[in-house]
Homo-oligomer: A and B are copies of this chain.
Amino acid sequence: MPLMRSWVESANSAETEFPLNNLPYGVFSVGDGDLRCGVAIGDRILDATGLEATGLLRADADADVLDAPNWNDFMELGPTAWARYRADLQRILAEDADERLQDAAVSYSVPMARATLHMPFKVAEYTDFYAGRHHATNVGTMFRGPENALPPNWLHIPIGYNGRASSVYVSGTEIRRPWGQLKSPDHDAPAFLPSRRFDIELEMGAIVGQPSDGPVSVQQADDMIFGYVLLNDWSARDIQAWEYQPLGPFQAKATATSISPWIVTKAALEPFRVSTPAREKELLPHLREPGPMLYDIPLSVSIQPENAKESTLLAHTNYKEMYYSSAQQLAHHTTAGSPMTVGDLLGSGTISGPTRPERGSLLELSWGGKEPITLATGETRTFIEDGDTLTLSGAAEGDGYRVGFGDCTGKVIAALTDPYER
């Protein structure tokens, strides 16, 4: 599919992440104004809440689903409404759109540079997976040696665990280094200290846009997914090492999860569908992919120390490196009968590629802290230092256009001096 041209000139650039082909959904405010639903187009944001109120562009004839500080009510409407709304948006924003519509759209849009972006949806529950093979192999090799790198279940189920929805933040939110209980190998007892091995995990997040009530097939799961975001699963490796046996990570993953400000819809990603890699072991039927459900999306992560003039690319990888798709993860999530809810967020798990510069975490890049990384500034890093800004970027690459998410960025600030002093 080629670039779809818009009368919003900046949307026709080969550089923008927001051409007419994309139309991602976010939430914005200007100045002290209310939070409103918005659609990114080039360097502008279309005020979807305002356009709904005028009657020019409605997702639902009867209810003002966009008169809200999030897209959850819109998601509730379901795939038919999602498709119709997207078609209406494309009609209004297309190069040959009716002039009256163009005029209205101009008056209901703001420059993105003037807007503050907020959480695009209300997270119902958050689940994180461990479904990237290169990541699991790297981490497993570090902790258990190359022969036992993958746990026995890994090739049969997308391993996941429930995370904390209350600490999912939009890109730009500062992330405070956590305290936690840590135990050094050379100490007998643990201590309560700020984490010294605070890390990123480069992931994608899938947003559940339709509910389920019982097990769903992989196809049904794919149909339930509304869209995707970039996702950084901040991780305190030292807290995790001490706490995670036998019931998994808990406080190590509780501090924060950052997501990109824009939800890229499944519709916008259609041209980039690819299949998951070849199976080493055949999956049981209920987890088999009936068609391509992964996406070819180049991804990268960079770091910029405080006061540094330039950032350093830490890694570049691709979403298609995942061993399991989000649809497979969601299908597995429902096997025991737990209902899924509109607004559930599923982290893909860290996306690493097969080579060293494709590793999606500092744990892997510094090989457990043993191989420091040299930055463009000449400094070195094993894990995150206070003041560092970490940025995930990603955009699928079409024929003369890109489909992106907006950066997912977060600056890590110093731990509280005394976490119990208020």
Residues on A facing B (Cβ under 8 Å): 124-125, 130, 151-153, 156-157, 159-167, 176, 178-181, 183, 189-192, 214-217, 236, 239, 242-252, 254-256, 281, 284-286, 332-333, 335-341, 416, 419-420, 422
Give 7 new A-B contacts, CB below 8 A, not counting A125-B166, A162-B250, A251-B336: A156-B189, A160-B250, A179-B335, A189-B281, A190-B284, A244-B246, A286-B419
Q: What residues of B have a CB within 8 angstroms of the CB of A180 in the complex?
A: 335-336
**Given A156-B190, A162-B250, A164-B162, also A214-B337 (CB < 8 A):** no
17 contacts between A and B (CB under 8 A): A125-B125, A125-B165, A151-B245, A153-B242, A159-B247, A166-B340, A167-B337, A167-B338, A167-B339, A178-B337, A179-B335, A189-B281, A214-B416, A244-B247, A246-B248, A247-B249, A254-B333
Q: Is the CB of B338 within 8 A of A164?
A: yes
Q: What residues of B have a CB within 8 angstroms of the CB of A189 in the complex?
A: 156, 281
Chain B nearest CB, measured from A250 CB (Å): 5
Q: What residues of B have a CB within 8 angstroms of the CB of A239 in the complex?
A: 336
A281 — nearest CB in chain B belongs to which residue?
B189
Chain B nearest CB, measured from A190 CB (Å): 5
Q: What residues of B have a CB within 8 angstroms of the CB of A422 in the complex?
A: 214
Chain B nearest CB, measured from A209 CB (Å): 15
> For the complex, what is the distance from the CA of A164 to the CA of B419, rounded to whole Å?
28
Q: Is the CB of B248 within 8 A of A161?
A: yes
Q: Is the CB of A246 within 8 A of B159?
A: yes
Give the contacting residue for A214; candidates B244, B250, B281, B419; CB below 8 A: B419
Q: Is the CB of B157 within 8 A of A191?
A: no
**Given A214-B419, A250-B162, A420-B217, also A178-B243 (CB < 8 A):** no
Q: What residues of B have a CB within 8 angstroms of the CB of A416 in the complex?
A: 214-215
Chain B nearest CB, measured from A260 CB (Å): 21
